[in-house]
Structure formats: C-alpha cells, structure tokens
Amino acid sequence: MSNTTGRLLRVTTFGESHGPAIGCVIDGCPPGIAIAPEDFAHDLARRATGKSRHTSARREADAVEILSGVYEGVTTGTPVALLIRNTDARSKDYANIARQFRPGHADYAYWQKYGVRDPRGGGRASARETTMRVAAAVIAKKWLRERHGVTVRAHLSRLGELAPAAHDWSAVEDNPFFWPDPAQVPQLEAYMDALRKSGDSVGAEVTAVADGVPPGWGEPVYGKLDAELAAAMMSINAVKGVAIGDGFASVAQKGSQHRDAMAPQGFLSNHAGGVLGGISTGQQVVVSVAFKPTSSLRLPVEGLDADGNEVEIVTTGRHDPCVGIRATPICEAMLALVLMDQALRHRAQCGDVGAVAPRIPGQADG
C-alpha cells in the first residue's frame, strides 16, 4: 500500500505521529557498510522540531534503535530495521478537532478513503514520518560517498517572497533556515517572527544538489532518474511542485539557450540539471522542490465536521509556520535514496560496461 520507495534499495516506513514509535525497514542494503546508532544523530537533529523558535516546539529525542541487519557494526545484507520511539506527543491538542476536517490538511481525504483516521498529530499524514526517510538516507549518503564519491546537500532557495541575494554553501549549516546568504539571516528572523505573531504560515522552496554523480544512472522511459526524483520529492508532505534543473523557467527559454553545450573540458552550462533522457550526464544533479504553507493555523477558518456541520476550525498545538525550512534535509535524503537505488540498478544491468570514451567532466555549478 505504497509505504515503500525504491526498487533495489527498498525503504518501507511505518508509524504515526502520536503512536508509540515510528520506524523503517531498509531492504536490499549492500553488506559491509559500517553503521552505528550514533551515526544518525547529526542528520536527524537537522530535520528535527524544537531546534529553533522558527519550527514546531515539539521535542523528540529521535534516538535510533537498530533492530536488525547490522552485526558487529556493519550491515549484513539482511533487512536493516530502525526504530524511533515517540516521546513528546501531546494528543490533547487534537481533541477538539478529532472529528473536524482542517482545510488544506489531509484529514478529509483520509476520511473519504478509509472511513476511519487517527487524528492525533495528523497520524500517518504527519511530517513526523519523514524522520525515517532521513534516517534511512544516512546509510545511503554514506554508501554514495564511500563507494562513488557522491555528495548530496541542500539549501532553502525561497522563503515566501524572499530569495537569497548571494550563494555561499559554507553558510547553509550555520543558520536555522539552511539559507545560503548569511547577510540575510536577520531579515529572515524578523520575517519569521512577524509571521509567527500573525498566526499565519508561508511556503518555501528547497534546492537539493548531488555532486560527483557519474554518467549513466537512471533508466529509460519509466525509470527515469528525473521521474523518480520527482515522485520521491512529491511524496514528501506539503510538496506542490518539483523542478529538475531550470524546470518551469525552461518554458520561456529558447533551445539555443537551454541546450548545454559540450567541450573537451566539460559541459558549458547545466540547464538540464544533470539529467538527459532520464539518465545522469555526470553533471551536478539539481532538483528544486516547492512546499505549500502549513495548513494547521490558529487563525479560524470555515470548515466541516464528520457529521457535515459547518464549524469554525482553530488548530492549537505546536506547528511549523514554514514547514519548508525543515524539509531541507528531507529533500537531501530523498535525493540520496533515489541515487543509491539507481546506482544499484545501474550496477545490476550495466556493471560490465565500464567507462566509455569520451568522458567529459561535468560543469561544477548548475
């Protein structure tokens, strides 16, 4: 029932926001990858709530228990099962809206589909689920880095109407917004403080980038790298759009501008975002993801309850005024999971092909 992503690296997540635990099973993980419970802490903390006043105040320990698939510190090739216990759910915040459909939220659609739903903290529709994607991707990122020299990173590229005025990768991890222009951080702080006071929320865009991807990853037609990236990103809560390379800006471009010229020293531009014909070219893989503004607001809104009564809905509790901020490591994680899956598929079918001349270097900044 679609709780699994990937074909050779298959990640299945389970759990609800206010259930006893969330978890995942990673099947198809190659043997011999060194992994310990503490390896997950860094990326999980980057994604977590309660780390700054600009995100939900819920404080989860996000301590990973490795239940299977790892022996004496290395993966064994058997399913890797990871578990995180929920420790800070406050279900009473949801008591008043348990039978109400929050406009813009998954409540109504889940109700129509299943005829029953877990309303506590959004249940399975909660962004809490993304914790396990980030955990699984810790292993994928490690494998990609060690086996192929591939690195995956991401930054916020829009916060509402604000866009970075400069781009410095080294600044991204030093501010609570994953923002690449440190000079703008005070402006972002003021923007978010005013937004939070108003009780409203705002959308955002994340750009995720992979460096060092060799040419050849991705499969024709239905298994395209860009198609699977789009599906993976769209599976993240609150995502409304995905663009590869120039994406929708391509609409206003001429072919003479968009095509990436090639020379012995490398590609001369990267409008394609590192993918041609669904297959990586060796250039930087660039994917941008649009997040809608969070729907859970304390501002009242007209809605309906499960009996069809008109009701005024107010959502209390601990919500993100801009869920796109914390989505930065989540997009990074999905990029890593898709790349590792495609790398394994490429190895399975084309492992004997080897490097084909001429191999030209990719363009560094897409």
Question: Which residues of the shown chain bind ligand EPS in the complex (CB under 6 A)?
Answer: 17, 49, 56, 58, 60, 89, 93, 121-122, 126-128, 131, 237, 296, 317-319
Would you call 153 helix, strand, or coil by DSSP? strand
Nearer to ligand EPS, 97 or 285 (CB): 97
Distance CA(192)–CA(10), nearest Å, equals 37
Nearer to ligand EPS, 121 or 273 (CB): 121
Q: Which is nearer to ligand EPS, 70 or 232 (CB)?
A: 232
Please identify, using beta-carbon distances, which residue of 56 and 184 lies nearer to ligand EPS. Answer: 56
E-strand ranges in 171-307 read 204-211, 239-244, 262-263, 266-267, 275-276, 279-280, 285-291, 301-305
CB of 48 to ligand EPS, least distance (A): 6
Beta bridge partners of 280: 275
For residue 127, the minimal CB distance to ligand EPS (Å) is 4
Closest CA relative to residue 88, chosen from 48, 117, 124: 48
What is the smallest separation between the CB atom of 309 and ligand EPS, expressed in angstroms? 23
Q: Least Å distance between CB 245 and ligand EPS?
A: 29
- Measured CA to CA in angstroms, residue 328 lies from 79, 336, 344 at distances of 27, 13, 25
Nearer to ligand EPS, 267 or 291 (CB): 291
Nearer to ligand EPS, 56 or 283 (CB): 56
What is the smallest separation between the CB atom of 356 and ligand EPS, expressed in angstroms?
44
Beta carbons of 362 and 260 less than 8 angstroms apart: no
* Distances 296 to 202, 299, 316, 323 between C-alpha atoms, Å: 11, 9, 8, 11
Give residue for tokens 């009473």: 92
Residue 7 CB, shortest distance to ligand EPS, in Å, is 27
Alpha carbon 358 to chain centroid, angstroms? 34
Sheet holding 151-159, edge to edge: 151-159, 204-211, 285-291, 239-244
Using the Cα atoms of residue 303, residue 320, residue 205 and residue 326 in order, give the sign of their dihedral: negative
Closest approach of Cβ 122 to ligand EPS, in Å?
4
In whole angstroms, the minimum distance from the beta carbon of 340 to ligand EPS comes to 23
Residue with smaller CB distance to ligand EPS, 55 or 363? 55
Between 281 and 296, CB nearer to ligand EPS: 296
Strand partners, 25: 12, 81
Helix (H, G, I), strand (E, B) or coil at 26: strand
Q: Of 108, 148, 105, which Cα lies nearest the Cα of 315?
A: 105
